[in-house]
Structure 1
Amino acid sequence: MRENGPVTPATDPQPVAAVPRLIATDLDGTLLRDDKSVSERTVAALAAAEKAGIEVFFVTGRPARWMHVVSEHVHRHGLAICANGAAVVDLRAGGELLTVHPLERATGLAVIAALREAAPGVSFGVETTAGFHHEAGYPRIQAHDPGMIVAVAEKLLGDTDAPYGQAPVIKLLAHHGEMAPDDFLALARAAAGELATFTRSSPSALLEISAPGVSKASTLALCCAERGISAAEVVAFGDMPNDVEMLTWAGSSYAMGNAHPDVLAAASGRTVANNEDGVAVVIERILRDLPRPGV
């Protein structure tokens, strides 16, 4: 998502570290424009990359059920790492879950207790493999689903006899209506950082909480290892704090012109903003600079 910060007028001229075998791109604020569309230029760039033998992974904080924004643009690039690394899905198979790295419910309850003490006024949402549930005070950002349960988070996580208490938890969300986003993130990490992974991708004080050690980077690294792809052969794109680990891990990485300051500091290069097709700009340059057979 868009956040105020330095804007780079053009891509960093530094070349990628190695001949790339995989492109890993965030969605919101990165591949997608602010209206959630994928430009024709970007669609063409992704297709051209795959034609050149470069795999494409979508790597996002979105749950699998929110992947409709790119589903119609899936060609061979059907793999998506969702919920900040907690789930791997195949978009070509209707969002089939391939891998889940769940947050243990007992751990989630410990996180909730720590945040309630550290940040009075916090409210919670629970994202599971079966759907989303939330507390009454949590700001609703989506239409009400008939299966959605509104209850205190301790019940949502602790009532394992109920259907909503049996599906694996892929992400816990914590919202605060008064704190600044980065201040809330810092406070939460200080209060419960040893229990879980905390990050954020929203312009509001909305934190995303995963199992310890689970991030976009950790799951991307596992997926790449399965394919014999090294970090040096990966080019990554992102714009928000939940992208920092991925951008640091990849051999070449690009912060969008609209990126958070922490992302600008973490990436090895910069490109123009998402509304200016910053991902496509870099992919086009990568393809132009690929070694030509016999040259």
Structure 2
Amino acid sequence: MGGLRDVRAVVTDLDGTIIRADGTASEATVAACQALRAAGIPLVAATARTPAGIRALGGLAPLISIAVCCTGAIGYDPAADRYLWQERMPRETLAGLLDRLSAQLPEAEVAVYDGRAWFMTAAYRAVRGADHFGPRAVVERRWLPRVDACVAAVCHPDLGPPALIAALSAVGATPVAASFGQAGHRVVEVAPAGIDKASGVRRALAALDVPPECAVAFGDMPIDLPMFAAVGLGVAMADAHPEVLTAAGDSTGSVDEDGFAAWLRRERVIGAEA
């Protein structure tokens, strides 16, 4: 178990880690989460999803003790349907990001989330190719700086997230736009300064009174790397990004192989029957 002997909390990314490409969790995954609940081990979800995206998980959502949403900017209690915290991006930060994109990367498209709804350009919706969960509105780009944003999402018709992050850094957007992270295969998420999955996970574990060194985290994308550094052990899915596989202290099967449940059984965090 990579030196981690006392698992007192389980932290996991969602999409690509315990949620399959069709948006569902397998029976084995749900059973593993139920077994964690029965054992009194809290489950923390750390995700780019909003609270609406957590609610979309159906029966899995109430098994999550705390959802670290929007890559750390929002803490959400699914059982009580209440927000635990919300971080905001200063309007001047968002305005600076939008100005640099307009001047240097005009084909990049942006959506912003204010904690309740997404606001996006029509071009963003077309480039992303899929809608966000929950309320959303299509607006003209000039209206976006007026939103009190928790996070922003950036996509580009030709650049994938790693190339887009490099381009954003090259045009000087990084100091203005705070934290960047690859969220999925099309989108770069922009969070307030100092906010990432690590900050959110630490906050959630403190609320649960669990020492970080007694938590194990599962993930598959580079946006999960800060989270790995914030817990006792990081576990990569078999098909994870190469950087994640390198950084992880252990690995398990892919989401389609029920790797999450298999690891928890193998390490006896839950019973073999789960």
TM-score by length of 2: 0.89
User: What is the identity, as a one-letter code, of the residue corresponding to 1:184?
Assistant: L
Cα-to-partner distance string for 1:200-254 (whole Å, 9 max, x where unaligned):
12212x2110001101110111221233322210100011121110012211111
The CA distance in 1 between the partners of 2:133 and 2:229, in whole Å, is 37
Say whether the 8 Å CA contact 2:117–2:135 is kept in structure 1: no
Equivalent position of 1:281 in the other structure: 262
1:181-200 CA distance string (max 9 Å, x none): 31111222342222310011
Is 2:248 the partner of 1:267?
A: yes
Partner residue, 2:86: 100
- Spell out the pairing of 1:19-98 with structure 2 (5 A cutoff): 19-94=6-81, 96-98=82-84
Contact preservation (8 Å) 1:49, 1:287: no
Q: Is the 1:255–1:269 contact (alpha carbons within 8 Å) kept by the matching residues of 2?
A: yes
Of 184-193 and 49-58, more deviation after overlay is shown by 184-193
Query: Counterpart in 2 of 1:245?
Result: 226
- SS class of match (1:169): coil
Which residue, 127, 137, 152 being the options, matches 1:148?
Answer: 137
CA offset at residue 278 of structure 1?
0.9
Q: What's the TM-score, normalizing by structure 1?
A: 0.83
* Cα-Cα RMSD: 2.2
Quote the sequence identity (%): 29
Q: Which has the larger radius of gyration?
A: 1
Query: Are 1:120 and 2:106 matched, yes or no?
Result: yes
1:202 correspondence with 2:190: no
Shift of 1:143: 7.8
The alignment partner of 1:17 has SS state of coil
Residue aligned with 1:38, SS: coil
The answer to whether residue 118 in structure 2 is matched with residue 132 in structure 1 is yes
Counterpart code for 2:22:
D
Q: 1:198 to 1:143 in 2, by over 3 A?
A: closer
Cα deviation for residue 144 of structure 1 reads 10
Number of equivalenced pairs = 266
Q: For residues 214 and 262 of structure 2, what CA distance do their matches in structure 1 show?
A: 19
| SS of equivalent to 1:194 | helix
Unmatched runs of 5 consecutive residues or more in structure 2 = none
What is the rounded CA distance, in whole Å, between the counterparts of 2:238 and 2:185 in structure 1? 16
Aligned CA distance change for structure 1 residues 90 and 146 (closer, same or farther; 3 Å): closer
1:228 aligns with 2:209: yes
In structure 1, what is the equivalent of residue 165 of structure 2? Answer: 185
Give the superposition deviation at 1:132.
0.7
Q: Distance in 1 between matches of 2:39 and 2:258?
A: 20
Q: Which runs of 5+ in 1 are unaligned?
A: 1-13, 159-164, 291-295
Deviation at 1:71, TM superposition (A): 3.4
Distance 1:143 1:289 in 2: 33
- Give the SS at the match of 2:189: strand
Q: Which deviates more, 211-220 or 76-85?
A: 76-85
